[in-house]
Amino acid sequence: MITTNILFFEQYLTRMTAHLVDVRHDDLESAAKLFVSSTERAGKIIVAGNGGSAAMASHVAVDLTKTAHVRSVTFNEADLITCLANDYGYESWVAKALEFYADADDVVVLISSSGRSANIVNAARQAKAMALPVVTFSGFDRANALSLAGDINFWVDSTEYNIVEMVHHVWLVSIIDRIIDIRRASAS
């Protein structure tokens, strides 16, 4: 007999697995190639999110740079966030950071579980105004504002923050591992 506690984990991990595999593989490949193409033109990948998504952005940026040799940055410095939020409003600070730091060959990756975070949606609009490719990671409502603003959009059909964030994280690190695979194949 399965106890209630074990049943919870079995159901939880089954839901997580179903969401992980519910992704367009062509989109993962397109994102990997876009990142490689950007770095070949001396561009960088800019990754941004709030809260847990900001922590994920940091992890992804470090792994892109260190293991995949794709230059990547985040805007997670407290002084930058508080300065820009104070001067331009919290809803505009990421857009302003892009205005100040993004270059022509960069790619912008924006993460918001709900797809409704005003600062992240405004960043997508700023990136589009600068003609930068935008890759989005969101959940909750399929037609959320963030996914409507992106070029390549990854969406998790869930309203559970931990499910959405962990699926985003796995998809992002799978892109990193694909870039490593691409580079390994081209070196041989």
| 108 phi, psi to nearest 5 deg | -110, 125
Q: What is the pLDDT of residue 2?
A: 62
Whole-number Å distance between alpha carbons of 82 and 114: 23
**pTM of the predicted model, to two decimals?**
0.95
Q: What is the pLDDT of residue 1?
A: 55
Whole-number Å distance between alpha carbons of 176 and 182: 10
Q: What is the pLDDT along the chain (188 residues), one digit of tens a residue?
A: 566 788 889 999 999 999 999 999 999 999 999 999 999 999 999 999 999 999 999 999 999 999 999 999 999 999 999 999 999 999 999 999 999 999 999 999 999 999 999 999 999 999 999 999 999 999 999 999 999 999 999 999 999 999 999 999 999 999 999 999 999 998 88
Q: What is the pLDDT of residue 12?
A: 94
Domain 4-187 has CATH 3.40.50.10490: yes
Q: What is the pLDDT of residue 187?
A: 85
Q: What is the pLDDT of residue 170?
A: 98
Report the run of H or E that residue 81 belongs to, with start and end.
helix 78-88
Please state, as a whole number, how many other Cβ atoms lie within 10 Å of the Cβ of residue 144. 21
